[in-house]
Structure 1
């Protein structure tokens, strides 16, 4: 079994994700090879909450330039996790 801290890379703190936290939805950057079941188990183990639903999406890296040189940021995976109604909020997102 994979380590849950290898699956959840970091939380995404944006204006939209902060608005979603009012509805028990939290956004994370996750490992590209993680599936919804692994993401659900990792969030439940790390934050001690119950997950109702997981939505994932693959994000393409943006093109970037440095002078005449072009490059690309890495592709990554985003997961939006919805908690059950009786779950407590994730403290990490509170007060940000």
Structure 2
């Protein structure tokens, strides 16, 4: 796995009420990832970017819902989410400055 690929795997952390609840209860962080990302790639990307040890990765695909935007019918995007379980004592601080 190249470093360039690993830097592109993670798109954004998911900051929702459900994701925060899961993070507090199970020591898991939710990320939006590229559609063709594999579990080993996601694990390596988190360890590279955040210097935190990963215990396991769970991945799920969600289909975008069909929604109306005024009188037009549109579609939300399909997403691939990764729930990354960190080892005991590890944590990710999104507020710290990356150097």
TM-score range, shorter chain: 0.7 to 0.9
Q: 1:28 aligns with which of 17, 25, 31?
A: 31
Matched, 1:77 2:80: yes
Structure 1 residue runs without a partner (length 5+):
none
- Cα distance in 2 between the residues matched to 1:37 and 1:18: 24
Shift of 1:3: 2.9
**Aligned alpha-carbon RMSD (Å):** 1.7
Q: Which runs of at least 4 in structure 1 moved beyond 6 Å after TM superposition?
A: none
Provide the residue aligned with 1:6 in structure 2.
Answer: 8
Question: Which SS does the other structure have where 1:90 is aligned?
Answer: coil
- Cα distance in 1 between the residues matched to 2:29 and 2:89: 15
Q: 1:52 aligns with which of 12, 31, 55?
A: 55
TM-score between both structures, scaled by the size of structure 2 = 0.85
Structure 2 residue runs without a partner (length 5+):
none
- Cα distance in 1 between the residues matched to 2:72 and 2:22: 38
TM-score between both structures, scaled by the size of structure 1 = 0.87
- Cα distance in 2 between the residues matched to 1:76 and 1:90: 22
